[in-house]
Amino acid sequence: MVTVEHNFDLSALNTFGMKVSCDTYVEYSSSQELQSLDFDSFPKPWLHIGGGSNLLFTGDFKGTVFHSAIKYVKYVDMGLEEVLLTVGAGVILDELVKETCGYGLWGLENLSSIPGEVGAAAVQNVGAYGVEVKDVIAGVVCFDLQERKKVIFKTPECAYAYRDSMFKREKGRYIVTSVLFRLTRKYSPKLEYKGLAGLFAEKENLTPSEIREAVISIRKEKLPDPSEIGSAGSFFKNPVLSGAQFASVAQGYDTVPHYIVEGGFVKVPAAWMIEQCGFKGHREGNAAVYEKQPLVLVNATGAATPEEIISLENRIIEAVKNKFGVELHPEVEHI
């Protein structure tokens, strides 16, 4: 069914809880419905959202917001080892993770409890605890708004990178309608992330569900519960520095948390930098830096305005720049 609403309240559709609205809201529940929409009748600009868990609305949206309610999970190839499934873009990622872990399939368990929907996860290349969703994506089916036709991308064509993809670079052109996942029955726990490795040091014969439970409890300790405090998860990306930049950041510290990434670059947790600048738990009006994970900005009272969040964001960027000479970039998309 297609739903079209006007002056639609978006409060429940952004996890930051910004009280904003859009001129027109369109929700559809199949790719056929999407293709048959009379696009020219919807006011521009257009914005397609997923679970609204990585967005900061900077004000009311004077255009059309689209949302997918394509919700199916189809197991298309059940091999002895590999299992292929195609999943509608509107399926809640964590419901999919729960289901596949329950079937003993490996691949998605480290991504437990990430808010948001499957389509947006494939656009944003969400990641946590040593896994990025691209690792288990075998293909992405889209509707091309420019050519008005269905297109299928193999994973390399999606040009995935850290919280990035071709879909983000070709902004507004493709609407993801379904994602093909490749999971496995083969025992393959990914425990490189230090917090996880420690928990399971003594254990063999783990199940995907056990890892899922561990990830859920780690996230509960560090990240705000979206049903209690509004946020959009990590607000900034972790900066990737050259060796020389890292040496300059590390000056005067005995140790600086970091890890080496492709090309010999050094990723430094922005959380650490923000904490060094004294912002951990810092509150300004209704906006705050989360006390357990300073990478997360929160709507502390539920009444924060976009201006309050942005002003805190800018203060943090400036402080980190002054102290470390490093420019932080938001991970959260500003609309």
Binding site for ligand EPU (CB under 6 A): 128-129, 222-223, 233-234, 237-238, 257, 269, 271-272, 275, 280, 293-295, 331
204 catalytic, yes or no?
no
In the bound complex, which residue of the shown chain has the CB atom lying closest to ligand EPU?
A: 233
Distance CA 333, CA 14 (A): 12
Q: Which structure tokens are listed for 177?
A: 């309608």
Nearer to ligand EPU among residue 178 and residue 238 (C-beta): 238
Nearer to ligand EPU among residue 121 and residue 183 (C-beta): 121
CB of 288 closer than 8 Å to CB of 281? yes
The helix-helix angle for 93-102 and 208-222 (nearest 10°) equals 140
Closest distance between ligand EPU and the C-beta of residue 290, in Å? 8
Q: Which structure tokens are listed for 28?
A: 């559809």
Closest distance between ligand EPU and the C-beta of residue 40, in Å? 36
Q: Which residues pair with 178 in a beta bridge?
A: 88, 141
Residues 6+ apart with CB under 8 A from 79: none
Q: For tokens 């209690």, what's the residue?
A: 228
Residues in the chain: 335
163 catalytic, yes or no?
yes
Nearer to ligand EPU among residue 291 and residue 318 (C-beta): 291
148 catalytic, yes or no?
no
Q: Which structure tokens are listed for 141?
A: 């089916």
Closest distance between ligand EPU and the C-beta of residue 222, in Å? 5
Whole-angstrom CA distances from 316 to 38, 43, 143 are 43, 36, 38
- Catalytic residue selected from 163, 182, 283, 315: 163
Closest distance between ligand EPU and the C-beta of residue 152, in Å? 27
Nearer to ligand EPU among residue 175 and residue 218 (C-beta): 218
What are the residue numbers of the active site? 163, 234, 331
